[in-house]
């Protein structure tokens, strides 16, 4: 199949691109390299350095005749969305609609979309949350992800485009960006490996559901199946707090930094953990990597890249 992967120079999508190419698919990457790394782009993929809001998107879709759009490009930082909701909406909502509209006009058969189980549900009332949990996002980022879901459903009803929407938990692993505000595993690991102090925001008792990137890649391979449609959580159904991540990485690395807490950041949920039962029942997917082993693999990657 011919697949367009947006954000294919970034952490998650570049791993997906590698797997798609390994399986023999024809992959085209669209990425503006604002946060992605050119070195992450598979040399066998065709690359367009382009923002998803660009008016050139429609022409590319017309020329390439994609079978599938896998949309991972996004402004992914909750704190950036809180500080600049207009920028977040322009990138995530307008960019998404630009892609979906181009997909509809050019005959794309399916959209695979990276949504966020960590933010679209808001402050959870059920733990772990399944896909029927009320969607009450508490950040502009979560709102933008939910808006994309609604637009995808519109194009499904209006143009018959199949879709798989993945509501991801907190993804970590090789190639995660350690230099932004998001991605606590990469940030902590990078700091500790350099002998620098890593800081915990707030009391460190905020919990998240951490899922390893290889498990997410496997889900995106399954999503290519023609008969698979719907909204699915991708997580581990297990929550761990930030203090656990800090102390586990400290143990793995042998770091000597202290556990120091900074003030909490606005827009952060207190608890987030999601159920993957629906996707498991439909296709048998289950996470294969436990958190501590995944942290070891992530640290090994950063050691080698350093």
Backbone angles phi, psi at 192, to 5 degrees: -65, -40
* Residue 55, CA distances (Å) to 24, 68, 97, 154, 192 in order: 30, 20, 12, 21, 43
Q: In this structure, are strands 210-212 and 170-172 parallel, antiparallel, or unpaired?
A: parallel
Where helices occur in 37-171 by DSSP H, the ranges are 57-64, 78-83, 85-89, 95-106, 140-159
Cβ(52)–Cβ(73) under 8 Å? Answer: yes
Distance CA 96, CA 89 (A): 10
Burial of 139 (0-12, 13-18, 19+ CB in 10 A): buried
* Residue 79, CA distances (Å) to 16, 94, 186 in order: 26, 19, 17
Q: In this structure, are strands 210-212 and 110-116 parallel, antiparallel, or unpaired?
A: unpaired
Please pick, among 20, 121, 141, 210, the residue that the annotation labels catalytic: 141
For residue 256, the number of C-alpha atoms closer than 13 Å in the C-beta half-sphere is 1
Could you confirm whether 172 is annotated as catalytic? no
Catalytic residues: 141
């Amino acid at each position: 199949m011919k697949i367009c992967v947006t954000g294919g120079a970034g952490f998650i999508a570049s791993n997906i691109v590698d797997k798609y190419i390994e399986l023999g698919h024809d992959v085209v990457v669209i990425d503006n390299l604002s946060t992605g790394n050119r070195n992450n782009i598979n040399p066998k993929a065709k690359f367009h350095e382009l923002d998803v809001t660009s008016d050139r998107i429609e022409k590319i879709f017309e020329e390439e005749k994609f079978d599938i759009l896998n949309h991972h490009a996004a402004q992914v930082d909750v704190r950036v969305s809180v500080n600049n909701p207009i920028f977040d909406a322009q990138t995530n909502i307008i960019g998404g609609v630009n892609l979906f509209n181009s997909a509809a006009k050019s005959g794309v058969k399916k959209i695979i979309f990276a949504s966020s189980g960590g933010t679209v549900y808001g402050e959870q009332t059920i733990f772990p949350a399944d896909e029927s949990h009320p969607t009450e996002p508490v950040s502009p980022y979560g709102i933008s992800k939910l808006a994309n879901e609604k637009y995808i459903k519109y194009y499904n009803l209006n143009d018959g485009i199949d879709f798989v929407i993945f509501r991801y938990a907190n993804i970590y692993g090789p190639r995660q960006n350690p230099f932004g505000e998001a991605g606590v595993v990469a940030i902590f690991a990078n700091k500790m490996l350099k002998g620098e102090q890593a800081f915990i925001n707030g009391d460190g008792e905020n919990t998240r559901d951490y899922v390893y990137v290889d498990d997410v890649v496997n889900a995106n391979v399954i999503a290519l199946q023609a008969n698979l449609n719907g909204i699915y959580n991708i997580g581990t159904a297990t929550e761990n707090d930030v203090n656990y991540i800090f102390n586990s990485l400290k143990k793995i690395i042998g770091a000597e930094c202290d556990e120091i807490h900074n003030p909490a950041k606005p827009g952060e949920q207190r608890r987030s953990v999601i159920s993957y039962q629906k996707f498991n029942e439909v296709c048998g997917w289950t996470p294969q990597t436990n958190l501590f082993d995944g942290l070891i693999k992530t640290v090994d990657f950063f050691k080698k890249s350093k």
